[in-house]
Structure 1
Amino acid sequence: MKSALLVVLTALLFRLILAAFSGLGIDESYMVAASSHFAASYFDHPLASWWLELGARHLFGSAAPIVVRLPFVLLSGVASWLLYLVTARLYGVKAAFWAVLAYSLSPVFSLAFGSWVLPDGPLNTALLAVLYALIRALGLPEGKPAPRWWLAAGLFAGLAMLSKYSAALVLVGAALGVLLDKVGRRELARPWPWLGVMLALALFAPVVVWNAQHHWASFGYQGGRAEGVRIRPLMPLSIWGGEALFVLPWLWAPMVWLLVRAFLAGATARVSWLLGWAAIIPVLLFAVVGFWSSTHILFHWAAPGYLMLFPLLGDWATRRSVRMLRIVAVITGGLLVAASLIIVALVQFGLPPLLAHSFKPGKSPMLQAVDWTSIGPALPPGIDAIAAQRWFDAGKIGYALRRDGIKLPVTVFGPEPHQFAFTTPPASLLGKDVLIIAMPGALMQTYERFAPDFASLKPGPVLPVLDHGQMLLAIPTFIGADMKKAPQA
């Protein structure tokens, strides 16, 4: 236990360093910029991650990176310890140590989900809590079922659904595992599992109500990601390859093999059976969707499935050479720490001059890694709001203003406004003077598009995005006076 605790605390330390000394990425900036109040749900995801960063901002009175990221870093520690508890109960403390170590070395789980403002951090914590409650309720591995744990499973299942809709994939898989387990079917004849289901549904109800009140916007957006037909026979392999890189190939390969073995062993191996069913839907679904859909599949979407396989991986590691495992762990940890420190160094000190000058304006990768706080002093006086044409530009600009305490509404005049459509609807700016961000596209195209919507439209200042004095991007603008009608998407 002490060794596992040391791993958890060491990983927390490096996540805190990364969280404190690197700027917010595109998705993070968007979440902080587009959230202005506590709501029953939001456009992209349910409420959990939005409430966490909002709560941190209200508590500390700041939108600094370490502040908005702090709840997610702390939750990563809770998730690590829940994984330890789950694995220790199922396979023993040695397996639990290796499971926690593998989790802490996996970039997507340890760094991305463990320190960034993303819904995946709360999701992972809630799903591991569901898994722990479920094995207690079923009496796994060889104990007596504890029916009241079904209420805890329902509570955490509701919290998982309040984190991200993809929680349903793991929950449905776990439910199938219970249904196809002899003891599980016997437990389903009692009222406790159904009371847990009712509790989960009650917690998720506000999200349904919000969607009903907003024309099912969030459900429609997430449900539409599999639309479009484009047969790509090799895409599943590409998707699994990307997932392997995110998890780490030398963790991903044994995980997949252990998943196959879990199903080959069948329902008599109750523990691996449950874990396999909890994992299988996310692992398979997105690869299958990639085969026939034109949707761009993001590799981290399947991560909840792999999360369920860490206990199996920990047990597998106990039968491998300790010396070899230590060598792999040291090398992996060294690479992870080095990558984290390089990111921090680049953000804190900027790119070396030779490398910085090799990127054309607007093409530097540092545009995503640094906060665009240099635009604040260049804003013209007298404007009432800022409008970008893309949600991710609005996110970077809006976060820069929020971090500097500049209270200007930010919205999107474009076809995909996301949460900005609800935070600052374009129609709410009628009669206002709006600074319009001219990217993307030519200045003339921007002028012709928005000139009819304002009493007058004239060139505004160029907003500089700087990194340690190096110009990363020059943003042209227009000032629209007295908005007459909301621009069409």
Structure 2
Amino acid sequence: MSPLFLLILVTSLLRLLLGSLMGLGIDETYMVAASHHLELSYFDHPPIAWWLTHAAMWVTGSDAPVVARLPFILLFALSTWLMARITTALFHDKQAGFWAALLMNLSPVYGLTAGGWVLPDGPLDCALLGFLWFSLRATAVIPGGGRWGNWLGAGLCAGLAMLSKYNGALVLIGLPLFLVTAPKARVWLMRPQPWIAGLLAVLFFLPVVIWNQQHHWASFAFQGDRAGGLRFQPFAPFGVWAGEALFVLPWIWVPLILLWLRALRRGPSEPRGWLLALFAATPVLLFAVVSIWSSRHILYHWSAPGTLMLFPLLGAEVARRLQAGAPRLRRVILGTVALVLVALALVGTEMRFNWLTAAFGPGILGKGTDVAGGVDWNDLAPQLAARGLLSTPNLVVAVTRWNDAGKVDYALGGRFPVTVLADDTREYGIVAPADHFLGRPMLLLTPDNHQSYILARFAPLFDKLMVLPPVTLRFGGYPFMTLSVLAGTGFRGLSPADVK
């Protein structure tokens, strides 16, 4: 059995195990619940992650966490193979390919979140690696280039990347930059292949454009607003880079950036490094630059598609140093493997059994809400049903935050419409806007336990609104969240002032 095949097998089995131990995170639950509605695209992101989740649930008849995560685990197995294949072809060294693939798996932002969670990042990374592979061959940076099939493959993977997540476009920019700046590749600008490939990518992206046109460009506006606001923060990029380093692992991120800078310095004279550096440049730089003026929070994983493109350089460098004899580097890699395995064991077992609370008492996790994002609210439906609250005809369940909507919707198995009584409704404002349920009875669930405030805020929306005993959710035998419960009749709809 080859080391690469063993790596893919072991890491996939670990992700399956972890996927069965852990409940769905907030974003995962939101995506799983929303994916019951099959759409051309979705409010937050393009549709591939939702389509994959919908397909997995349709084929198996289950929405269990490990089932929803299965397509993403399989895609990352393919991503691991692609990373090894790309690096081996670039540097003619199977060891370099193995080290690039291993280090990618050890980096949490790739090996954990993109590799095993229901998020758009997994499909995006796989599509981008496919795009990189075909681009390298199409431009003859690696042998076998220049054929129509490679250019069409690059266009296909570019389209799949754009159907996965918008920031994939930042990596795709690297190919035209390479064609313009690399003398031997410039000839392709006068040939039809890259232009046809670009047209193919645009055609794949059409569902997203059509959906946005039908929904007042909601998704484009939402994502574009993240660069909004205006303030001057000259040191903000250092915070962004520090966060990115933490997500990748600092001792992996720093060498990636140093190798990127070296490739930029060498320029087009070294086409392999130049192409990889250009593919990485826009994501690595853009979000740090935007942070200088944007008042919005920059999420550290947004630049991850850029640093992903640099792992072949890191794999080659690690292979070169190990072949020259570098015992300290080998110890660092083995220590990272041990650290990641221990961390996964601790997190996986805690999110399954809540042993921290059992060992140290409820105070160890504050008031309990710290774990709520990664715990399925499995006892919500039985508690509500036992009190007869789910038997009301035409019942609608309402929440006050979009991130609670997915948790509630998933816990209730999609049996009731779930709407959000707030200004930030995300996909629920598309599939279940509150004003579609005028006159319907509503069960309002909110983690806010200030009953006087809740009544003052929401009573005007109903003919009658009653406060009922709260529901306490438990995790591993211990309470972790209390939800206020209110029953309303004669819903009157929302005005702009109601959702502030």
Question: Residue 283 of structure 1: SS of its match in structure 2?
Answer: helix
Unaligned runs of 5+ in 1: none
1:336 maps to which residue?
Answer: 340
Question: Residue 40 of structure 2: SS of its match in structure 1?
Answer: coil
Change (3 A) 1:318 1:416: same
1:394 aligns with 2:405: yes
1:31 maps to which residue?
Answer: 31
1-structure distance, mates of 2:397, 2:350: 29
Change (3 A) 1:144 1:122: closer
Alignment of 1:61-460 (within 5 A): 61-92=61-92, 93-141=94-142, 144-321=145-322, 322-350=326-354, 351-359=356-364, 362-379=367-384, 380-383=389-392, 384-402=395-413, 407-440=415-448, 442-460=450-468
1-structure distance, mates of 2:447, 2:142: 58
Q: What TM-score does the superposition give when structure 1 sets the normalisation length? A: 0.96
Pairwise CA distance, 1:289: 1.1
What is the CA deviation profile of residues 50-97 of structure 1, one whole-angstrom value per residue up to 9, with x for unaligned ones?
Answer: 111111111111111001000000100011111111111101212111
Indicate if the aligned counterparts of 1:45 and 1:218 stay in contact, CA closer than 8 A: yes
The code of the aligned residue for 2:15 comes to: R
Pairwise CA distance, 1:326: 2.8
Pairwise CA distance, 1:144: 4.8
Pairwise CA distance, 1:349: 1.8
Pairwise CA distance, 1:452: 2.0
2-structure distance, mates of 1:366, 1:454: 33
Indicate if the aligned counterparts of 1:7 and 1:104 stay in contact, CA closer than 8 A: no
2-structure distance, mates of 1:355, 1:472: 15
**Bigger Cα displacement from structure 2, 80-89 vs 158-167:** 80-89
Q: What TM-score does the superposition give when structure 2 sets the normalisation length? A: 0.94
Indicate if the aligned counterparts of 1:69 and 1:115 stay in contact, CA closer than 8 A: yes
Change (3 A) 1:202 1:398: same
What is the CA deviation profile of residues 412-438 of structure 1, one whole-angstrom value per residue up to 9, with x for unaligned ones?
Answer: 100100001112111221121111123
Indicate if the aligned counterparts of 2:448 and 2:484 stay in contact, CA closer than 8 A: no
2-structure distance, mates of 1:438, 1:106: 36
1:42 aligns with 2:48: no
Question: Residue 463 of structure 2: SS of its match in structure 1?
Answer: strand
Pairwise CA distance, 1:361: 6.9
Pairwise CA distance, 1:254: 1.0
Indicate if the aligned counterparts of 1:378 and 1:461 stay in contact, CA closer than 8 A: no
How many residues in Structure 1 have an aligned counterpart in Structure 2? 486
Change (3 A) 1:120 1:317: same
The code of the aligned residue for 2:339 comes to: L
1:472 maps to which residue?
Answer: 480
2-structure distance, mates of 1:188, 1:20: 49
What is the CA deviation profile of residues 207-248 of structure 1, one whole-angstrom value per residue up to 9, with x for unaligned ones?
Answer: 001101100000000000011112222211111111111111
2-structure distance, mates of 1:456, 1:382: 18
1-structure distance, mates of 2:373, 2:204: 35
2-structure distance, mates of 1:294, 1:442: 30
Indicate if the aligned counterparts of 1:411 and 1:425 stay in contact, CA closer than 8 A: yes
Change (3 A) 1:474 1:360: farther
1-structure distance, mates of 2:493, 2:240: 44
Unaligned runs of 5+ in 2: none
Indicate if the aligned counterparts of 1:389 and 1:440 stay in contact, CA closer than 8 A: no
Indicate if the aligned counterparts of 2:357 and 2:365 stay in contact, CA closer than 8 A: no
The code of the aligned residue for 1:47 comes to: P
Pairwise CA distance, 1:439: 3.2
2-structure distance, mates of 1:364, 1:439: 9
Indicate if the aligned counterparts of 1:23 and 1:371 stay in contact, CA closer than 8 A: yes
What is the CA deviation profile of residues 12-47 of structure 1, one whole-angstrom value per residue up to 9, with x for unaligned ones?
Answer: 111111111101111111111223221110000000
1-structure distance, mates of 2:143, 2:57: 45
